[in-house]
Structure 1
Amino acid sequence: MRFLICSFDGLRPDLISPELTPNLCRLQSLGVTLANHRTVYPTETRSAFPSLVTGATTNRHGMVGNKYVDRSVSPPRYIDTSDAVLLRKLDLESGGKLMSAATLGEILASEARSLAVLATNTPGTTRFFHHKAEDVGHVRLSGHFREACTADALAEAEAGVGPLTPVPPNIEPDKAGQDWITSAFLEVVWPRYRPDVTILSYGEPDVTSHFHGTGAEATRGIIAHCDRQFGRVLDWWEAECRAEGVQIIAVSDHGHITGHTRASVIDSLRDGGFRPGIEPAPEVDVVVVPGQAGALYLAEPTEEQIARLVATITEQPWCGPVFTRTRNGIDGIAPGSLGNHLVFADHPRAPDVSFSFRADDGVDPFGLIGGTFYDNDRRAGLGVHGGLHPKELAAVGIVAGSAFSATAGSISAVPSGICDFVPTILYLLGIAQPDGGMTGRLLTELLADASKPEVRSEAFEARIGNFTQVLRRIQVGSTRYIESGLAEG
């Protein structure tokens, strides 16, 4: 039995349709759609994909955001995880502990099995899929970035399908990269290596959504293009490999909502008497990590300063749910905040205060639900993600193949998440999970003779002044998923 995971970065499940994505719909007809499938918090790519490959939430693997402040060194340093060379350096410096949970590639290598990665995401994201590929002799290929590729595989791929494609400008949808990785998989990696597990990651429609809008014509165009490339893979699977026991899993790492009102966190904090900056410096008393998932690191993170910081941001119209380290198992140490363990973000790298921008259920110009405040230099009306709106948390999940016994074309309403795929793959391969690392569950409802698990809901609330936030989660057996986090006041 072998597995192929096909990922579509930033694809909202409600954009799958017969007109736009006929091949993903074809996969749905051949398999099972996970209708209540979710990602992790923060809903950022380089938190979510580490969760995919570790089967664990952020608090276990330690990738607390696309960017974070590393306070394990003196002086603290700002880390941008899009940099594949930096990630390699950090892993070597830490004695192989870049991530604090074992990854799928490491686990497979320990069992003399293989993982191949082909991706058009950023160099750092591509490395995250299998950050030790060069150490264990596995394949990792980027459609654009040589520094993210393993050397031998790159040489073979370029000989077989041509040179790496140049990175297009952000305003231009990336078609050539998707074509290249699809061809490299079908013509080189599968015939040459036949990996036990392959991750084929299309880096779109994420970038196009950020620069054109989630429902824009350009975004719909690149979704359709990625679907056509996936159609080549699905044709191969149906003609050659379905009967050989290859299982297909289609995923996305998060959804998008639309930024409608620009805000400035730095200006708000400066008005509140802080000395903010975007990276550690002697004159900075609070680092505001750039991005749509709010991360604030204090130079002196006393309980008093954390409470002052929370009081300042909860007075702002842009402030959504707020989290600090826990006081009592529910509340955070600052009034008005919830404990960051409730969103599975309580890692040593976690910020002193994390927050989401305030989101709502407004309908954007493309007819899509979900709007939010945002903090970047782009115009309103573009796609963003990182927070706790249900449409940011919603992710694609479709499975097909002989291992999944549910009726073809069926829908599973049982809640599931991005952390659940690796535990399920390992179970089907007969490989034991590492002790204590994974938080995802075995998707028993998709397997033979499965009983439907018990599902329960829970909610947590915190207030300060006129600010109120509510976090909703859902529990399947002992596994918990985040449904939403919203604030008002």
Structure 2
Amino acid sequence: MTSFDHKFLIVSFDGLRPDLIDSVQTPNIARLQRLGATLAAQRTVYPSETRVAFPSLVTGATASRHGMVGNKYVDRLAMPQRYVDTADAVLLDRINRESSGMLMSAPTLGELLGRAGRSMAVLATNTPGTTRFFHHKAEQFGHIRLSGHFPEACTPADVLLEIEQRFGSLPPVPPQGEPDIEAQTLITSIFLDHLWPKHAPDVTVLSYGEPDTASHFNGTGGAKTRQAIAHCDAEFGRLLDWWEAEGRQAGVQIIALSDHGHITAHTRVSVIDSLKATGFVPDIAPGDGVDVVVVPGQVGALYLADRSVTQMIRLVEALVEEPWIGPIFTAARNEVEGIAPGSFASHLVFTDHIRAPDVYFAFRADDGVDEFGLVGGTFYDNPRRPGLGLHGGLHPKELASVGIVAGSAFRGGGHVSAIPSGICDIVPTILSLNGMAIPDSMTGRVLTEVIAGAADVELPMVGTPHVLETGLNSYRQRLQRTSVNRTIYLDGGWANSEAVSPAGASMERA
């Protein structure tokens, strides 16, 4: 059995923007910042969606390696092709079994721990599919995975029965628009009163599904969203009290994070109507006569029936004329450009996987300020009213995510690191701190800059921000990336904007 020097409690706040953390709104998260180290330049991946980001967390890799290319995608390998909504835990389990365990095409932390004879547990109030993604092979290793709402995402059955006998039945999902309060309290209590005392897992993921859902229906700065944030922070305070009284002495390290940020919807559009007007026959799922599938959601994912270069060029030529279009990505023609003129190569945002759509795009975003004083606005395509929170694209506020570490393995005392870091870096750091090998599949790096004693070692080398540019006709798009050693982070992407590159940034035009 591999030695395990440190146990870890990973606590996630779904959709929490880092700039919403302060001593008034989130006193307990702010307390952790004072006790530990803050990753002030923490980023997520593209697409900045939950069920892309959390697979990136547990695999330590981008979508190009793990294959979860969106909250929803078209499975071209299925016969017939099928539309996959990854919120569905039962469907994910079926795909995993049908593919001989290859739901994700990279190993996860749960698998690596299980093979080493170590344990990982999951407590989550997200969708059932998200809960399964945290450790989709928990059954194989006899590990615990519990949902705050959905029995179909839970395992083993005897543990769920034990939990329900002690804590009561899993609560239903609250009415649409109401903050999800009860379940956040439940999973906190399960950890404190049952999971830790009885099992003391080597790694626990405790994922609060808020404030993401509240933001989608009330606005990122809305009263009900702030209620959800405050409640999750209070529940986190219970965890932090336990950690200071007991967990810290037991060698537990805390990592607090979020999977993405939010920006605000301001102008509703219809991608399907726009494509129809240019002569395409679009729909939201494959079918007879459909020449382009428009996957529903804030991430533009377009799957062509005819995948010829000619048809792809035609599709991109139609997109660049739309006022709502942001950055566009297709398979690579060279190191910068996609095969359709005007598009970037998809490998620049690490989405070049067999499951990826023929064309990715983000909606055009801007730095407008919403009614709550929050920066970041966007075009959008859903039936909800303007003013509500969204994510999935490349605006810096969507990519910005929470990152705080604390414990004996890390620098403390309120240390702040301005070195870019990302959600893919968490698992390599955990493995390194416990002397475990880091698989070649992982694209993240070890966060040496916040590890205790880092002041005595050479810090990572941070490169100059690199700006790439391409376009077609009057459409122009920019993508900015920053490297730390050999790891590359996404700073943001813009189209037809006046976004100014940082002083000293290198520019590459196609």
TM range (shorter): over 0.9
Equivalent in the alignment of 1:412: 417
Residue matched to 2:140: 135
CA RMSD of aligned residues (A): 0.8
Equivalent position amino acid for 1:75 in 2: P
Alpha-carbon distance between aligned partners in 1 of 2:374 and 2:18, rounded to the nearest angstrom: 12
The one-letter code sitting in structure 2 at the alignment partner of 1:414 is I
**1:379 and 2:396 correspond:** no
Q: Distance in 2 between matches of 1:181 and 1:372?
A: 34
Residue 152 of structure 1: how far off its partner (Å): 2.2
Q: Residues 387-413 of structure 1: CA distance to partner in whole angstroms, max 9, x if unpaired?
A: 000000000000000001x24111000
- Give 1:450's aligned residue: 457
Corresponding residue for 1:400?
406
2-side partners of 1:297 and 1:365: how far apart? 36
How far the C-alpha of 1:75 sits from its partner, in A, is 2.1
Give the AA of the match of 1:446: V
Question: Shift in Å at residue 169 of structure 1?
Answer: 1.4
- 3-state SS of paired residue (1:399): strand
Paired amino acid for 1:143: G
1:212-291 equivalent positions in 2, closer than 5 A:
212-291=218-297
How far, CA to CA, are the matches of 1:159 and 1:112 in structure 2? 29
1:301 pairs with 292, 297, 307, which one? 307
Equivalent residue, structure 2, for 1:90: 95
2:447 is the counterpart of 1:439: no
Q: Which residue of 1 aligns with 2:504?
A: none
Preserved CA contact (<8 Å) 2:57 2:426? yes
Q: How far apart are 1:39 and its partner, in Å?
A: 0.2
| Kept in 2: contact 1:469–1:488 (CA 8 A) | yes
Distance 2:433 2:163 in 1: 30
**2:69 aligns to what SS in structure 1?**
coil
Instruction: Give the superposition deviation at 1:429.
Output: 1.3
TM-score, reference length from structure 1: 0.99
**Does residue 1:65 correspond to 2:73, yes or no?**
no
Match of 1:4 among 6, 9, 22: 9
In 1, the alpha carbon distance for the partners of 2:458 and 2:181 equals 43
In the aligned structure 1, how far is the partner of 2:16 from the partner of 2:401?
7
Mapped partners of 1:31, 1:416: distance in 2 = 16
Deviation at 1:450, TM superposition (A): 3.1
Query: What residue number does 1:469 align with?
Result: 477
Which amino acid counterpart does residue 460 of structure 1 have in structure 2? L
Cα distance in structure 2, aligned partners of 1:363 and 1:424: 36
2:348 is matched with which residue?
342
User: SS at the partner of 2:214?
Assistant: helix
Secondary structure of the residue that 2:93 maps to in structure 1?
A: helix
* Partner amino acid, structure 1, of 2:81: P
Partner of 1:455: helix, strand, or coil? Answer: coil
User: Following superposition, which runs of at least 4 residues in structure 1 exceed 6 angstroms of deviation?
Assistant: none
> Aligned partners of 2:254, 2:458: CA distance in 1, in Å?
23
> The residue matched to 2:267 in structure 1 has which SS?
strand
Give yes or no for contact 1:156–1:188 (8 Å, CA) kept in 2: no
Matching residue's letter, 1:452: L
Code of the aligned partner of 2:91 = L
* Residue-by-residue CA offset, 1:402-440 (whole Å, 9 max, x unaligned): 001x24111000100000000000111111122x21000
Question: 2-side partners of 1:224 and 1:295: how far apart?
Answer: 34
Q: Displacement, 1:74? A: 2.5
1: CA distance, partners of 2:270 / 2:138: 40
SS of equivalent to 2:360? strand
Match for residue 483 of structure 1 among 491, 494, 501: 491
Contact (CA 8 Å) 2:406, 2:412: kept in 1 or not? no
Q: Is the 8 A contact 1:388 1:485 kept in 2?
A: yes
Size of the aligned set, in residue pairs, is 487
Matched, 1:167 2:170: no
Percent identity over the alignment is 65
2:372 to 366, 372, 387: 366
Cα distance per residue 1:233-287 (max 9 Å; x no partner): 0000000111221000000000000000001000000001000000000121000
Provide the C-alpha distance between the structure 2 equivalents of 1:267 and 1:484, rounded to a whole number of angstroms: 28
Question: 1:147-158 counterparts in 2 under 5 A?
Answer: 147-150=152-155, 151-158=157-164
The residue matched to 2:495 in structure 1 has which SS?
A: strand
Distance, in Å, in 2 between the alignment partners of 1:28 and 1:363 is 27
Letter in 2 for 1:128: F
Aligned to 2:30: 25
**Distance in structure 2 (CA, Å) of the matches to 1:399 and 1:231:** 15
Note the C-alpha offset of 1:159.
2.4
Q: Does 2:130 align with 1:122?
A: no
Residue 33 of structure 2 aligns to which amino acid in structure 1?
Q
By how many angstroms is 1:153 displaced?
Answer: 2.0
Q: Output the amino acid matched with 1:71.
A: R
1:211 aligned residue: 217
Structure 2 distance, partners of 1:123, 1:188, is 21
1:149 offset after TM fit, Å?
0.3
Contact residue 34 and residue 412 of structure 2 kept, 8 A: no
**Conserved in 2, the CA contact under 8 Å of 1:458 and 1:474?**
yes
Cα distance in 1 between the residues matched to 2:102 and 2:140? 14
Q: Residues of 1 paired with 2:229 and 2:289: CA distance?
A: 45
Worse-matched range after superposition: 423-432 or 248-257: 423-432
Q: Which moved more, 1:423-432 or 1:40-49?
A: 423-432
Is 1:48 the counterpart of 2:48? The answer is no
SS in 1 for 2:90: helix
Q: Partner residue of 2:361?
A: 355
Alpha carbons 1:31, 1:401 under 8 Å: kept: yes
Q: Secondary structure at the match of 2:241?
A: helix
| Match 2:188 to one of 170, 182, 191 | 182
C-alpha distance in 2 between matches for 1:437 and 1:407: 30
Deviation at 1:486, TM superposition (A): 0.3
Residues 140 and 153, structure 1, Cα contact 8 Å, conserved in 2 = no
